Structure 1
């Protein structure tokens, strides 16, 4: 069956500088196994599948797959899917906000005055201190000393992130990790006067080794909640991610009341149909 398809670039306005996402715009009738097989074939960090909402408050429902498993929530798939849905003619119930239904519940997405999209960070599923044994193992896997970690906290909003804070952006960019035991995000501040407040990198165990995600919305969301809560940064601010991979990811963080919004540019790179 021919199904409308988009491949989009998320968190960048630089051609092919962000994180790519495959979006199947009409996934009706597909089984989870068929979705997983296609996501494995695309070989992208995530592939999403649009379905009619089950919750009457939502505009659409999305299922999010990595090459090996389904996720309840992920950030760049949220923005990329919303962009593709709107571009294909989707009309939200509320002209100001799109409501996405996913495994983590209802996620609000809105546009800004730049024409970009931003999602409201979902609540954390797990937070708090990291066990010292795990923290020591993570430092070793990253090739740094335990004392190089300024602070650490669980920052799990679905994928399972542990967040580490290093002394500065240069220390983050210098990382050459070995095999990490869990999904780990590493942040370090840029110097005063830089256009970016923090540099982020995201490492995940994959096929017996470690893979690095170019630009990671879920990690930026949970790290922003952590850094804002602990007073290490004030919003609005911009994060740079993907530098070590030759990408130009830019993530904008804003805060309104209790809401933390994670936003950036999304551009369609491939448009057509897929046999699925």
Structure 2
């Protein structure tokens, strides 16, 4: 049997957060079994395995969406660490995780929010033509971004950051989902991440429309949020000494909150930390070969 825990990660309310199916003993599962769990549950799923022999990591983590494997998933990583802690398997506060995108550091206290690291973001501004293509797929006016900057930003994966004029307009977006994948391919991006400035200093609201995950929208996306934090830093919307709060999932009625801080060495930003709480929703058991 395969024990699957459904954990809602980054909840802003008792009903919020992004559900992550987690298997903390996944060494015997093959790729298709893990993908099938993601397909059946309909969510990006996290799987904990032993680290490879040459890795200094405490854990290896794998991530699958219904359509394929992902290199890294922020909310599933925090959800998996939460499940490991609940099972009494975390030996110390500082943990190291092996992923296909590289090593991820984690801070896992005895209780409360868990934090994971993301590398220094790389930001690239997009052309006006790209802005027109993005406007078209989001069903916005052709010239919506002529006085604004859309950009690609990457920590573990590349996301396209899209400034929207207000939080209300952000929540009213009705994308043409059939064309998102082709637009993302043009941008060399794994998802569209429109955002708007919130009322409080350092608070921003966002939505994530993934390129090819098998579902149309995410309630909380740690990797996209970390990319946005570096985009906001590049645009001078925030200072590197400030914390950033990303609100997501509101349009889906799964309000989420992702807290981000920048890590500095010798006065320069070198990485960032994603931090959030979890709610254990339920457990389910399925026969591994018949998920």
Q: Of residues 185, 198, 205 in structure 1, which corresponds to 2:204?
A: 198
Task: State how far apart, in whole Å, the 1-side matches of 2:152 and 2:213 are.
Answer: 23
Aligned to 2:187: none
Matches within 5 A, 1:1-276: 2-12=1-11, 14-44=13-43, 46-54=44-52, 55-92=54-91, 95-111=92-108, 115-124=112-121, 127-149=123-145, 150-179=148-177, 180=180, 181-182=183-184, 183-191=191-199, 194=200, 197-205=203-211, 211-234=216-239, 235-257=242-264, 258-271=270-283, 273-276=285-288
Task: State how far apart, in whole Å, the 2-side matches of 1:65 and 1:154 are.
Answer: 23
Is there any run of 5+ residues in structure 1 with no aligned partner, and where? none
Task: State how far apart, in whole Å, the 2-side matches of 1:147 and 1:97 are.
Answer: 48
Deviation string, structure 1 residues 91-149 (Cα, Å, up to 9, x no partner): 24xx332211111011112147981012112344x641224433311111111135433
Deviation string, structure 1 residues 164-203 (Cα, Å, up to 9, x no partner): 1223323322212113232200111013xx3761111111
Deviation string, structure 1 residues 46-105 (Cα, Å, up to 9, x no partner): 01111001144211101100001100012111111111122122224xx33221111101
Tell me whether 68-77 or 153-162 shows the greater mean CA deviation.
153-162
Task: State how far apart, in whole Å, the 1-side matches of 2:48 and 2:209 are.
Answer: 27
C-alpha root-mean-square deviation of aligned residues, in Å? 2.4
Is there any run of 5+ residues in structure 2 with no aligned partner, and where? 185-190, 265-269
Q: With the length of structure 2 as denominator, give the TM-score of the two structures.
A: 0.84
What secondary structure is seen at the aligned counterpart in 2 of 1:225? helix
Question: Contact 1:166–1:186 (CA<8 Å) still a contact in 2?
Answer: yes
Q: With the length of structure 1 as denominator, give the TM-score of the two structures.
A: 0.88
CA 1:207–1:101: 2 relative to 1, 3 Å: closer
